[in-house]
Amino acid sequence: MSDGVEQGDYFVIRALENGVQVIGMTRGTETKFHHSEKLDKGEIMIAQFTEHTSAMKIRGKVELYTKHGTITPLE
Ligand code: TRP
């Protein structure tokens, strides 16, 4: 890929409860869900923004680590 999206940022998600969903959304003119991954409590996912994935939606209680900082659950 010449535009470098395969070198996209990584992020790490740690599920703090069962049934967390990590939903990948497509890159390009149409923004659609393309993959949903289920994590249970304690499971960790490391993933990347790619040629196919430009956005992510996360449902559930997680700790999220990105180069922009760490996001922890609200009280
Ligand atoms: N096949 C997807 C891709 O290469 C896999 C993927 C990468 C993904 N990052 C993701 C799926 C984040 C869900 C969430 O883009």
Q: How far apart are CA 60 and CA 31, in angstroms?
A: 21
Tally Cβ neighbours within 10 Å of residue 13: 23
Domains of the chain, each with CATH number or no CATH: 10-71 (2.60.40.50)
Ligand 1, residues at Cβ distance < 6 Å? 22, 24, 35, 37, 47-48, 50, 52-53, 56
Ligand 1 center–CA 1 separation, angstroms: 16
Please count the CA atoms within 13 angstroms of the CA of 46 that sit on its side-chain side: 3
- Write down the pLDDT at residue 75: 77
Mind listing the pLDDT tens digit for each residue in 28-54? 999 999 999 999 999 999 999 999 999
- Write down the pLDDT at residue 5: 62
> Is 11 a residue whose pLDDT tops 80?
yes
* 53 CA: nearest ligand 1 atom: 15
Pocket test for ligand 1, best of 48, 57, 58, 66 (most atoms within 8 A of CB): 48
